[in-house]
Every structure is written in C-alpha cells, then in structure tokens.
Structure 1
Amino acid sequence: MKLLLIALLVSMSNTSCQDKYPDLEDGLYAEFVTNKGTMVAKLFYDKVPVMVANFVGLAEGTHPKLDDSLKGKPFYNGVTFHRVMDKFMIQGGDPTGTGTGSAGYKFFSEFDTDLSHDKAGILSMANSGGLDTNGSQFFITEIPKQNLDAFYADGSLKNCGAPRVSCHSVFGELVKGIEVQDTISNVKVTPGSNKPIEDVVIQQLNIIRKGKDAKAFDAAKVFTEQEPLLPQKLKELEAKTQEILKEKAKEAANNFKKANADIPGEVKEFPTGLVMILEANPNGVTPKPSDQVLIDCTGLFEDGRFFFSTMESDAKRYDQFNEDAAKQGAYQPFAMPYNESATLVPGFREAMLNMNVGDKARIFVPGYLGYGASGRGPVPPNANLIFDLVIVSIK
C-alpha cells in the first residue's frame, strides 16, 4: 500500500507538471518564467520544424550544435531580454546580454507563407541580415510588424539575401502573458540605448508537450536531419513565388491590352510574359548584334504614373519636366548594344531585340522581367511596368 501511494504521488506530480495549463490544446509550448511574470508561447513545429527544433534544443540542452560544455543545460535559463523597444518588440537569447552573443553557431532561415508578424505576441528569430545568420536570439512583437516578414502581401518572397532587407522566421506566438510582454517592453532603459537599466531575466524557459505528436517531437533529430535541407526548401518557395507573380502578371497583361486597345500597331505576346504593341517602320533596318542602337523611352507604372523618360516631350506631357536635368543633358537617347549583353531589365531587352530602327512600341513588362524582388530607385519590388520605346538609330 505504501509503495502504491508513493507511485501515485509521483504520477500526480508528473501529470500536474504537464497539466499546469489544462486549457491549452494539444501542441508544443514554451513557458517563459521571468522576473516580470510568465508568458506561454505556442510553437509552430508543424510549419517551421527546424526553427522550433533549434529553440527547443537550446531550451532543453539537447541541441546537436551546442558545445559539450553547454549540453544538458537549459541554455536560456538566466539569460536576459537585452533589448526592449516600446511599440515594437523585446529581444532575448544572448548569453552575454550585449546583443552580439550566440550559442556558437549560425544556421539557415526557414519560412512559411502562413506565418506573419501580423499581431502582438509573435515569437520570431532575430538575425544580423541575410539568410544564414540565425542562432539563439529571438524576439517577441508588441504590435504588428509585417515589414519583418519574408513575404510581401501578395505571398511572393522577398529578396532576403539583399542588403537591408528584413526577413525574420516566425516560429511561435504568445497564448498567455501578453501583458507581461507589454510590461517588459515598457521597462526603463539606459539613455541612448534599448538595454533595460535593471535586468529582465528569463529565470526558466520550460518546454511543455501536450498530445502524442508534441511528445514525439525530437528536436535534436529534426535539426540534424532537416536543417541541411533548408536552402532547397527556400528554392521551392522561390519557385512558388514565381508562379504567383506569373499568374498575377497574366491578369495585368490582359488589363494592359484592354487599356491600350486604341493604340495603333500589332499586339505581340511572348512566352516570357512580355506584351508588345508594335508600330513597325516599314523601311526599318534590322541592327546587327555588333551594332549599338540609340533608344528613347518613357517608363510608367502599371497604373499610368510616370517614373522616367529620356524624352523632353513626354516629361512635359506627364508634368514631370525637370529644367536642371534638361541642362545636364538628361533628355536624350541612350546607347545600347543590340544583343543579349545589353544592361537592361530582361523584358526591355527582349522588346528591343524584336524591334528595328524607327519602330515604336508600348510594352508591358511583368515584374519578374523588370527589377524583380529588389526593385530599384522609385520602382518597388515586383512592380509590373509599361515602357514606350523607340529605336532611334544605329549609333
């Protein structure tokens, strides 16, 4: 009877540990016990398993990339929230508390189109830019911050490898203790910095598993097996992005044709997605690949807004004439080699190579044949463009 009672007490103790939050549905959770209160985050191990495996492996001391001296120890216990910004986020996970520390390794990003920094309480990876600088640091949002997403609103992927492009991997969200996040984000900081004057400490970071699937989640195994596959996973997302952009561009191209139905010329549609309304010069000479041609053009956004012209008449027509630019010789045709080496966006170059001297064309250039995911100057990422262009002469 005594042994039975002891076994029962042990069983009750284990059950109470796992059932500390009986209202939580089955899933994998992280409990942040801090000196400002407790927060609980649900971890999206079904959508971004590597990101969650990294976090759980660190929290439980089982991460395969940890130094032997750190294995078996809860990495986050005693670590501070070293950077707090009201109306933005709180950031932790740096054992040095300086913002430059890590667990001694970096790894590749993992994204899911269903996950966004679209609300308060989003748990996401901090990084130092690019795609392969994730480590132990994370942040929790106080307000929506979709500019940190790896995706644009249309679901297309950003050029995350480009400088000054923010792409952060969402891997969880707070389901309890959002008010604690708010308290932490409002603590007093050292003047001129975002570091709390008094340390905000993660006293314990506990992983809670509820349900069969969560209990079976082996963080070390998932990280070891799936982390090397992340670059390929990104390529698949990029391919999916191209499909999204192409479908949207088809609709935009149809609208372009309807809106310009009264323009004289032959409508030509190319397999790439380029659409051209070509007014051919019956006596036009076809340049040779060794030739350079002089080109005049005017660039418009899809909605008809002006952004560039080499033609003074067009600049004036769109009320964008700049006298200083005119004095500096801005309004004159530019020279380009009549071959694939021409330093033009792909859609513009394709149109040029299908024109003769004296030809005029209005062309629709889908974003992926224009300035792409990076954009350029006044042209935003993935913007569809319209160009009026003329092959003036052979230079």
Structure 2
Amino acid sequence: MGRDAIVRTATERTTAGKASAAAGAQQPTPPSVAVPGCRSVAAPASRAGEQASKPTAQLDPTRSYTVRLATNCGAIVIQLAVKEAPKTTSAFAHLVKLGYYDGLTFHRVVRGFVIQGGDPNGNGTGGPSWTVVEPPPPNLRYRKGVVAMAKGGTEPAGTSSSQFFIVTGSTVNLPPVYALVGHVVSGERAVEAISHVPTEAAPEGGEASKPRAPMVIERATLSVR
C-alpha cells in the first residue's frame, strides 16, 4: 500500500474476516518492544469479523461533539466536523456509543503520514458490512491533525465504514476523497507517540507499517455540549 492511499477494501475485508474466524480467537500476546510515552500492554483478543448496527440518527448540527480516545499512549480528543460532514460524523459517533472501538488498535502506522485504526480484524481488512457515503469538501486539505475515514480503493469518494486515520505529516498529499471526521484538539503527544512505534511488514508482505507493539484504543467516549 502506497503512502498516497488509505485503503480499506471490501473484498479483502470479507475474505480476511472469514479466515480469521476459522482460525479461532487469537489469544493476547505481550508487546515485543517498548515505546516511549506509551504503557506496555498485551495485544487485545481478536474480534475478527465483528459487526455493528447501521446508524439511523444524525447528530444535532447546533451542538458541539468531541470523541475522546483513551489509548495506552494517552488520550486523544477529536472535535467532530458535524456541519461539514453530518453523515460521516453521525456514523462515527454511533460506533463510539456502541463501544465498537473499545479494545481495537491502530493497526497501521506510517511515520510522517498517518496512524490508522478502527478495524476489528486488526489488519486493515475489517469493519461493519455497511458503508456511509459522503464526499468531503472539495477543497479539503489533509493537514496534520485532521481525522478522516479510510475507504476501499475502488469505492466512491467519501465512502466509509469504521476505519479512520489521523494525519501525522505536515505536508500530506492526498486527494479529497476520504470522508472528513474532524480534527485533533487535544492529545497531540499521544498521536506523536503512536506515530513513532517501531513497525514491520505484515506476514503477508506489503509496507512495513504494522506496529511491533500494540497501540490500543482502550475506550472511546462521546461528549456533547
């Protein structure tokens, strides 16, 4: 996967989910390396193939919403872009309220580019069977701290499910095809710590973006004011 792509492929998601389920639940394993600024934690148990109900309600555009991701590297607070992306933010908030993200990991880390998480398969192939489609603003720039949703390479612009990414590079050249979620307003140090975890290639090959220590979303919570 190149640095110019944030891919979540529906076909791969289905295939990998079935293969993981057939292999049985993965047992937690201890981390292999220490990461400055992060607590050492065991890898969470596999949740391969886990589904979630489709969102039916939308957030109130007159209110302000934030999502707090408590990770083993500290808390990350995301301000949701409700007015700019009502469907995407409502779906993201729905998954947060369901507890879908609790115990998932940042499975892909490319230093100076993005950290990506929200996949129950833990390898970039998972997520609910449904998608939401909401193209982002055409002038959207994916600057450092922007939070957006991953999509399959052949899916329409603005397609999303559960996988999201946080931009960590100051000059990331991505086309405006990834649905907007919001931006980080607190917890930049946690994002930075996660972005510096040592990585390796996955067993199936590809880019060296698999963290060598678990970067875990221990709990995600939604706040409104």
Whether these two folds match at TM > 0.5 is: yes
The separation in 2 between residues aligned to 1:187 and 1:148, in whole angstroms, is 23
What is the DSSP-based 3-state SS (H/G/I as helix, E as strand, rest coil) of the residue aligned with 2:147? strand
- Say which structure is richer in strand: 2
Structure possessing the higher radius of gyration over alpha carbons: 1
Q: 1:141 aligns with which of 150, 154, 167?
A: 167
Alignment of 1:226-375 (within 5 A): none
The separation in 1 between residues aligned to 2:181 and 2:75, in whole angstroms, is 19
Contact 2:88–2:132 (Cα < 8 Å) also in 1? no
The separation in 1 between residues aligned to 2:162 and 2:171, in whole angstroms, is 21
Amino-acid identity (%)? 31
Query: Does the alignment pair 1:178 with 2:210?
Result: no
The separation in 1 between residues aligned to 2:134 and 2:140, in whole angstroms, is 13
Query: Does the alignment pair 1:125 with 2:162?
Result: no
- Say which structure is richer in helix: 1
Q: 1:203 aligns with which of 218, 222, 225?
A: 218
Contact 2:113–2:172 (Cα < 8 Å) also in 1? no
Structure 1 residue identity aligned to 2:174: L
Q: What 5-or-longer segments of structure 1 have no aligned partner?
A: 1-25, 62-73, 151-166, 211-395
The separation in 2 between residues aligned to 1:114 and 1:49, in whole angstroms, is 17
Contact 2:68–2:222 (Cα < 8 Å) also in 1? yes
The separation in 2 between residues aligned to 1:34 and 1:104, in whole angstroms, is 26
Contact 1:51–1:169 (Cα < 8 Å) also in 2? yes
Query: Does the alignment pair 1:60 with 2:94?
Result: no
Q: CA deviation at 1:105?
A: 1.6
Q: CA deviation at 1:208?
A: 0.8
What is the DSSP-based 3-state SS (H/G/I as helix, E as strand, rest coil) of the residue aligned with 2:173? helix
The separation in 1 between residues aligned to 2:180 and 2:131, in whole angstroms, is 17
The separation in 1 between residues aligned to 2:171 and 2:191, in whole angstroms, is 15
User: In the alignment, which residue of structure 2 is the partner of 1:295?
Assistant: none
User: In the alignment, which residue of structure 2 is the partner of 1:304?
Assistant: none
After superposition, the Cα gap between the structure-2 partners of 1:200 and 1:146, relative to the gap in structure 1 and judged at 3 Å, is closer
Alignment of 1:209-220 (within 5 A): 209-210=224-225
Q: 1:94 aligns with which of 119, 133, 140?
A: 119
Q: What 5-or-longer segments of structure 2 have no aligned partner?
A: 1-62, 202-206
Output the TM-score relative to the length of structure 2. Answer: 0.65
The CA RMSD over aligned residues, in Å, is: 1.7
Aligned length: 156
Output the TM-score relative to the length of structure 1. Answer: 0.38
What is the DSSP-based 3-state SS (H/G/I as helix, E as strand, rest coil) of the residue aligned with 1:104? coil
Q: CA deviation at 1:145?
A: 4.8
The separation in 2 between residues aligned to 1:39 and 1:207, in whole angstroms, is 12
